[in-house]
């Protein structure tokens, strides 16, 4: 009898412990500049629902993407490796982007902690309908819904959607982004109904270069910006997939942002309706800075705020990204953090939250103390290193390092990765726009940061050409 009573008393405690595992939703926008959000200074369009994440949570002001283009950022987010050691360092041959199945990836770590896992959107690490290492489900996701490949993710009107490894034909003219977001919402509802903690990864393709949005929203913004009606936005989508030209891409971008903002608002509202709001962490970031493709005009929108550069640059505008975190009752509402962080910190952070050790391959630092307002216990990066392999180059064409307020940037001649130009040095404390190169005034600092960049880089599996310095 005593034994039965003990079990009866213990069971609620066990159930309580299970339910206290926080759900995690990580939303990764595509090519969204930090200045595209109202909470980071956007004036021409409103993002009230994304801004809610800042109003009701924590806004980071010193957060960095994994890279300045899509695929390597996603590889870094999944593996926790920094840009100098990750296997993918630029956009190129998708066949080489697949993750190592031996690694404890972000979703696999959640699986180890008993979570349901789902990914919805742009995977960007190989063809999602091909069995094996390119399939997100190989790396710990229970479910995947999205584009067949990164190339096809250039369009919002693909011929097929991939759901759990199977291609499903779409009716011509189907705006697939809405379907994918609907799948994500259904995963959240089903997981809540099952009373199982979940990790929902939403790497949306918005606002990537094809300026497509639902027609009614596009027409609304055309009326607001009729002066751009003569402009036509064009962007390729890969073989056999339509990517229609867009009349007035300025209106197209605004409509895309409104649509995305509404959908995120729907997710936040559903968390309250499902009764899981207080036990769900919502994180929002972008894979890199704003682009200048498909008719998009980042200068018109002030997409990168005070920062120099755009996508494919390692200046601040290419890699300094928004990062918002909301967890009611745990993260103090309406707060800011200047803590220096990057995408490769997410794996270590989630390991910490789920009571696990960070995987051996991880280069990140848990930011749980910062999230919970316990800044005194927060460890810091001595520096953040970046490198970018452009086009068909066999080695990196740009590298950069941030250490404190110092920022070093080194580009290669003609972006060919064979001969580097001199290192540029900026003091971000007084020159956030990277306008004044201080390299000649501080040669010792340049040498120090050059050494750190050399140490951070490891060769890719392909044979690299020896780089000459000048």
Task: Verify that 310 and 353 share a domain, yes or no.
Answer: yes
CB atoms < 10 A from the CB of 168, how many?
Answer: 12
Concatenate the DSSP letters of all residues of 156-199 into one string: SS-SEEEETTEEEE--TT--HHHHHHHHHHHHHHHHHHTT--EE
Q: For position 463, which CATH number holds?
A: 3.30.1120.10
Task: Verify that 391 and 329 share a domain, yes or no.
Answer: no
Task: Verify that 360 and 391 share a domain, yes or no.
Answer: no
Q: What is the pLDDT of residues 236-246, one digit of tens each?
A: 776 667 888 99
Task: Verify that 403 and 373 share a domain, yes or no.
Answer: no
Q: How much is the pLDDT for 396? A: 85
Please say which residue of 321, 343, 377 terminates a domain. Answer: 377
Residue 115 domain-assigned (yes or no): yes
> Chain-wide mean pLDDT for the chain?
91
Please say which residue of 345, 377, 409 terminates a domain. Answer: 377
Domains in the chain, number: 2
For 415-454, give one letter per residue: b (16+ CB within 10 A) or e. Answer: eebbebeebbbbbbeeebbbeeebbeeeeebbebbbebbe
Provide the β-strand partners of residue 167: 162
Q: What is the pLDDT of residues 332-379, one digit of tens each?
A: 999 999 999 999 999 999 999 999 999 999 999 999 999 999 999 999
Cis bond leading into 207, ω under 30°? yes
What residue numbers bound the domain in which 393 lies? 384-469
Task: Verify that 434 and 323 share a domain, yes or no.
Answer: no
Q: For position 173, which CATH number holds?
A: 3.40.720.10
Q: Which residue has the tokens 């103090």?
A: 332
pTM for this structure? 0.93
Please say which residue of 311, 344, 377 terminates a domain. Answer: 377
pLDDT reading at 384 higher than 50: yes
Residue 178 domain-assigned (yes or no): yes
Confidence of residue 192 (pLDDT cuts 50, 70, 90): very high
- Mean pLDDT across 142-162: 92
Task: Verify that 442 and 363 share a domain, yes or no.
Answer: no
Task: Verify that 423 and 461 share a domain, yes or no.
Answer: yes
Q: Are 332 and 373 in contact (CB under 8 A)?
A: yes
pLDDT reading at 415 higher than 90: no
Instruction: Please work out, in degrees rounded to the nearest 5, the angle formed at the alpha carbon of residue 295 by the alpha carbons of 94 and 177.
Output: 55
Q: How much is the pLDDT for 390? A: 85
Q: What is the pLDDT of residues 445-462, one digit of tens each?
A: 999 999 999 999 998 865
Task: Verify that 237 and 112 share a domain, yes or no.
Answer: yes
Task: Verify that 97 and 242 share a domain, yes or no.
Answer: yes
């Amino acid at each position: 009898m005593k034994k039965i009573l003990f079990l009866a008393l213990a069971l609620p405690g066990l159930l309580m412990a299970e339910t206290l595992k926080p759900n995690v939703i990580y939303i990764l926008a595509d090519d969204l500049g930090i200045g595209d959000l109202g909470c980071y200074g956007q004036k021409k369009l409103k993002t009230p629902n994304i801004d809610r994440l800042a109003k009701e949570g924590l806004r980071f002001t010193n957060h960095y993407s994994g890279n300045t283009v899509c695929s390597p950022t996603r590889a870094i987010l999944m593996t926790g490796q920094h840009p100098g050691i990750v296997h993918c360092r630029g956009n190129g041959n998708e066949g080489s982007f697949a993750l190592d199945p031996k690694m404890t990836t972000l979703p696999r770590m959640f699986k180890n902690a008993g979570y349901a896992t789902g990914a919805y959107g742009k995977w960007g690490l190989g063809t999602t309908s091909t069995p094996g290492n390119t399939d997100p489900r190989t790396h710990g996701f229970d479910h995947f819904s999205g584009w067949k490949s990164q190339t096809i993710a250039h369009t919002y009107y693909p011929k097929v959607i991939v759901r759990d490894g199977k291609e499903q034909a779409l009716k011509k003219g189907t705006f697939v982004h809405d379907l994918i977001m609907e799948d994500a919402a259904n995963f959240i509802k089903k997981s809540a109904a099952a009373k199982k903690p979940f990790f929902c990864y939403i790497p949306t393709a918005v606002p990537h270069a094809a300026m497509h949005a639902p027609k009614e929203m596009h027409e609304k913004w055309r009326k607001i910006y009729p002066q751009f009606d003569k402009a036509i936005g064009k962007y390729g989508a890969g073989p056999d997939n339509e990517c229609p030209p867009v009349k007035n891409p300025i209106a197209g971008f605004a409509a895309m942002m409104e649509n995305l903002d509404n959908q995120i608002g729907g997710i936040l509202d559903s968390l309250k309706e499902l009764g899981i709001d207080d036990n769900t962490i919502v994180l929002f970031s972008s894979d890199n800075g704003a682009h200048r493709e498909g008719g998009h005009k980042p200068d018109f929108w002030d997409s990168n705020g005070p920062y120099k550069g755009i996508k494919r640059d390692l200046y601040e505008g290419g890699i300094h990204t928004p990062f918002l975190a909301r967890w009611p009752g745990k993260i103090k509402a309406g707060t800011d953090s200047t803590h220096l962080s990057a995408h490769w910190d997410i794996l270590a952070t989630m390991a910490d939250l789920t009571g696990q050790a960070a995987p051996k391959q991880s280069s990140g630092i848990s930011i749980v103390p910062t999230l919970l307002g316990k800044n005194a216990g927060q460890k810091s990066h001595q520096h953040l290193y970046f490198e970018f392999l452009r086009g068909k180059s066999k080695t990196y064409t740009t590298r950069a390092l941030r250490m404190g307020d110092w920022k070093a940037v080194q580009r290669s001649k003609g972006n060919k990765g064979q001969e580097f130009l001199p290192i540029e040095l900026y003091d971000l404390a007084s020159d956030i726009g990277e306008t004044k190169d201080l390299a000649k005034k501080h040669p010792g600092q340049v040498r120090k940061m050059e050494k750190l960049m050399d140490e951070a880089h490891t060769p890719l599996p392909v044979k690299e050409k020896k780089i000459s310095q000048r």
